[in-house]
Structure 1
């Protein structure tokens, strides 16, 4: 895929900044009409079902932006930091997942926020039972983080026996097993047809994992897939429907983004 550049996209004079000398910099400017448009387009790709979207708010981390999404019924998010989690909770989010395994002060902060907002479902990621053990006796749920080839975090998706052992270990310790987290961000460099084929092969494997867990008597409440590059591939994958679990996608830079993200999305 060619590297996109800003000059490939039309400039609109209405987005010019008047009296720029009076603006304290660095500053973030967000065009509210474009945010509304992007939220509407994302929901349209999901058939209008706001419950299928768990946006990663590492970019769209302003409370204003989160409230705008909540206004459209999007009340589940994925966060990168405990500060983002705190902002999301104060903005009215009802379900939040921390996108990285947590230790030390960060884990303690999550426990504090879970106690402060008991009506909100707060979950974390873990890739082994040892990481998950620290959440025993807390209301914090755990998603198993799978590695579909990104090779950054997660349990390699072909290790089915280890995946089953993880879920059973959570059950035995009374830790809430929320489901599976599957971030296929490594597919972003592929053109859309190749990206779709690679993503769908991974989703076939993901469904096989969910099926094995179900046959073992372990409920998979939710499966989270797809950042922005894989979002169109995940949204159209028919296997995620009518399988007894909630499927959510987690693109975040669809709210406001750079030219690279624009090039990765159809339309």
Structure 2
């Protein structure tokens, strides 16, 4: 599992890097982007989610690869994409309260970026439309469909069709597509995951056909996430929205074995204490690696025998084999089980190229506000 090149992650000037730290390996990021592109008919069918990396520099790598459409979850992520020069950004969230005016301000601040958002009810659509219309603007919107996640959205069917048609009459918004996230489908067996995804997608396709049957333009279909990406990538006329592929993580590497993305971001930690020959304490607490999952929350590439036994805000206590040679000060290179919330814990990422760190990238949209 640790590969034929077990030292790809080693950093020569590690003495200059304080821990805990987030490290990004750009060449592996680029390889993940190349693999992503090879899985679809063309880059026009990609709308990657930026929630994983939250970095302008990573967004620029995607742009350099010809990807022009993006998806995000927060106003800050949307602004980061505007700063990076992204042409097309979908806020995959229904803005309410102050977020609506912030979104309008984004459209005014970054006029070269086409922003859009999700809606799942007529009241929100009217509220969004009112705020945009008063400024003489019109916001493209996607009707958010609930295909089983039961988190947001409206079930595809007559009510969803009615909402789409109603939005045609609301000043300030313009319905242009449908959004369906099937993140609840995570079967390790790909055939079963595909079967369930096909079932969930069928009413989405039917709704799209009903919309065109009313004489309206074909709605843009934005669907899926990482687990069902290989399924939707084979559909015609569908924009796919994976996100974790950019860095990958241990959780998806185990749950989605058909996807061969590479680990491209790691957390680094040091041994800060050795209470006894079977116990180490690392500087990798809840504040340094996503803690929403049970143990293990991180797998160490250069210390596979380590087993977590407890964790607090700034400490991770692990059990090791009695015959180990670990010493205080040793550096462990870890793959998080869940990389997305892990990245959000760091203000910056070290950038490792040719085995050495010479610069950092700011995790700029980990914050809820940038300027807007």
Q: Return the TM-score normalized by structure 2.
A: 0.64
Instruction: Show the counterpart of 1:201.
Output: 199
In the alignment, the residues of structure 2 paired with residue 70 and residue 265 of structure 1 have an alpha-carbon distance, to the nearest angstrom, of: 27
Contact 1:232 1:265 (8 Å CA) reproduced: no
Instruction: Show the counterpart of 1:35.
Output: 29
Change (3 A) 1:162 1:259: same
Matching residue within 79, 95, 101 for 2:88 = 95
In the alignment, the residues of structure 2 paired with residue 265 and residue 254 of structure 1 have an alpha-carbon distance, to the nearest angstrom, of: 13
Matching residue within 155, 160, 164 for 2:161 = 164
Instruction: Show the counterpart of 1:154.
Output: 153
- Aligned ranges 1:104-123 → 2 under 5 Å: 104-123=97-116
Query: CA offset at residue 172 of structure 1?
Result: 0.8
Instruction: Show the counterpart of 1:173.
Output: 170
Instruction: Show the counterpart of 1:210.
Output: 208
In the alignment, the residues of structure 1 paired with residue 234 and residue 43 of structure 2 have an alpha-carbon distance, to the nearest angstrom, of: 15
Give unpaired runs (5+ residues) of structure 2: 261-372
SS at match of 1:176: strand
In the alignment, the residues of structure 2 paired with residue 209 and residue 69 of structure 1 have an alpha-carbon distance, to the nearest angstrom, of: 31
In the alignment, the residues of structure 2 paired with residue 265 and residue 190 of structure 1 have an alpha-carbon distance, to the nearest angstrom, of: 7
Contact 1:39 1:255 (8 Å CA) reproduced: yes
Contact 1:101 1:125 (8 Å CA) reproduced: yes
In the alignment, the residues of structure 2 paired with residue 217 and residue 30 of structure 1 have an alpha-carbon distance, to the nearest angstrom, of: 48
Query: CA offset at residue 24 of structure 1?
Result: 3.4
Change (3 A) 1:32 1:178: same
Q: Return the TM-score normalized by structure 1.
A: 0.88
2:62 corresponds to 1:65: no
In the alignment, the residues of structure 2 paired with residue 220 and residue 108 of structure 1 have an alpha-carbon distance, to the nearest angstrom, of: 29
Instruction: Show the counterpart of 2:79.
Output: 86
Give unpaired runs (5+ residues) of structure 1: 1-7, 242-246
Query: CA offset at residue 85 of structure 1?
Result: 0.7
- Give CA-to-partner distance per residue, 1:12-59, whole Å, 9 cap, x none: 213113343421344321111111110000000013x11111001000
Q: How many residues are aligned here?
A: 250
Change (3 A) 1:77 1:123: same
> Which structure's CA Rg is the greater one?
2
In the alignment, the residues of structure 2 paired with residue 139 and residue 119 of structure 1 have an alpha-carbon distance, to the nearest angstrom, of: 15
Query: CA offset at residue 220 of structure 1?
Result: 3.5
- Give CA-to-partner distance per residue, 1:242-263, whole Å, 9 cap, x none: xxxxx21000111112122223
Kindly indicate whether structure 1 or structure 2 has the higher relative contact order, using CA contacts under 8 Å at least 6 residues apart. Answer: 2
In the alignment, the residues of structure 2 paired with residue 207 and residue 66 of structure 1 have an alpha-carbon distance, to the nearest angstrom, of: 30
